[in-house]
Structure 1
């Protein structure tokens, strides 16, 4: 079935809703896929916590790290909306390495992720996943750097100004004066690269099977389920995922597993042209487009 008319319609819907998106949906059994600009590079925000979890757990498996070792963790003391877990703690804590992996991945805790980055720096995460044959995702900096954008320097009523800067200051080559939005300086990736990563996590051939299984569990237990989950979760399907959010960027990547045995990787990276922090309409639109692409593959 010719998908071109469908892709044109969905592109139009995204444009009308103020979004540009990179989408890829892949049948993990057949390898068939459908997408919209799947190789467009984006800063990935918290999506980088998936490769961080994989590399950390693999180092534990190889005996390079002790998963039971408790690390001293300074509190995040963050009071702005959004961050969870240790990021909101007000007092120091000692947390086991494996528990930090849970907090980083399932709770999307930035402080936990940065404690793991002290053990495995971003450059080593990138080298390791490339060694697994997974390209197109680059870790360059810690999560704490995501909390030093212009949005954190403005009062609540002026946050729209930071979004206006994020929207208007980018270059055609995906550069940006805000380092966290510049694909050459930020943690970056594509929908295609994350679909490849998800395929390896669900059907591992280069990643250790036990490590992959644990990351599937962590993604299944993801607490942030407001974005794509409503369109992919049901009594007859399970949705396992990770979200990423930064200024005008809204991402989610995951796998939907159906009761009939079909499984689809879904990778969605988007940027909005609307200067607002809360955009439920954008969440609904990106989910609808992703589900429409999945439905096309599932029923063709």
Structure 2
């Protein structure tokens, strides 16, 4: 008996469109999108190990709120940020010049809204790297691991770049030796793990409702509109997310919420062929591919609801 070959998906299948969009933007990309309520999903390489970069600040934020929920710390607790020893970065405390004093929850705002590396280091010093990994492990994120602090991540890039400094990062040979771009040697996850984390946050499974609402609020205050949010330019669609960046890497994970109460967790990780720091197409493709995936999930839900 001759077996009938499995049918090929049509050429306009959402996965093919996502892959084509990545290729056109000059990046390799991995994506997972999931309907938070139905569990329907769509992916392109969802289990590929990826470098999280600042996306891992979301894991730290959840660990912070879990410790607050357990009574191990108070979010209004004050922390000191001296002038010296700050982690490099272009935003927030990292870019400020004078000593500062602020609460843990305000440091968390800076960490999430503008991806402040120094604020993240202050919080990590209070929470601990082991606690972050304990949080992801207990949430079932088996392929997510924090290998080091955000300061160590930045320091490794500087060390590996060598005496050429930031200019050396335009050299593909230098890019190839960066430990920070190897998931086996730095903070890592997978797109599927990240949407699982987002789903747990939105369903109040990661923290008690009070703390889950606080985490969702901070994700909604992120100021960057050029990646995930660019795919959903509608006043009545809300996008909450966290970006992550490193040489050739542009990432974002987040949740897209529609006025009909549809809500979708999306994780997109990309690596560009070009080492250029400014690649608008590589930023925009995160929103483009997320929109393709979410539209497909919404169309599938509509089809399933038809009589």
Residue in structure 1 matched with residue 200 of structure 2 by the alignment: 200
- How does 1:90-105 map onto structure 2 within 5 Å? 90-105=97-112
Residue in structure 1 matched with residue 279 of structure 2 by the alignment: 279
Residue in structure 1 matched with residue 64 of structure 2 by the alignment: 56
Aligned length: 289
Contact preservation (8 Å) 1:164, 1:275: no
From 128, 141, 146, the counterpart of 2:148: 141
Paired residue secondary structure (1:24) = strand
Q: Which runs of 5+ in 2 are unaligned?
A: 1-7, 301-307
Residue in structure 2 matched with residue 181 of structure 1 by the alignment: 181
Runs of 4+ in 1 over 6 A off after TM superposition: 76-80
Residue in structure 1 matched with residue 215 of structure 2 by the alignment: 215
TM-score by length of 1: 0.88
In 2, Cα distance between equivalents of 1:9 and 1:165: 32
- How does 1:38-187 map onto structure 2 within 5 Å? 38-75=46-83, 83-148=90-155, 149-150=157-158, 154=164, 158-161=168-171, 164-166=173-175, 169=176, 177-187=177-187
Q: 1:156 to 1:41 in 2, by over 3 A?
A: closer
1:191-226, Cα deviation, whole Å (9 max, x unpaired): 100000000000123532222111100001111222
Residue in structure 1 matched with residue 4 of structure 2 by the alignment: none
Contact preservation (8 Å) 2:87, 2:151: no
In 2, Cα distance between equivalents of 1:209 and 1:257: 18
Question: Which of 1 and 2 has greater Rg?
Answer: 2
Q: Which runs of 5+ in 1 are unaligned?
A: 170-176
TM-score by length of 2: 0.86
Task: Please state how far the C-alpha of 1:39 moved relative to its aligned partner.
Answer: 0.6
- How does 1:238-249 map onto structure 2 within 5 Å? 238-249=238-249
Q: CA RMSD in A?
A: 2.3
Paired residue secondary structure (1:87) = helix
Contact preservation (8 Å) 2:230, 2:284: no
Paired residue secondary structure (1:226) = coil
In 2, Cα distance between equivalents of 1:35 and 1:76: 44
Q: 1:37 to 1:76 in 2, by over 3 A?
A: farther
Residue in structure 2 matched with residue 269 of structure 1 by the alignment: 269
Contact preservation (8 Å) 1:75, 1:86: no
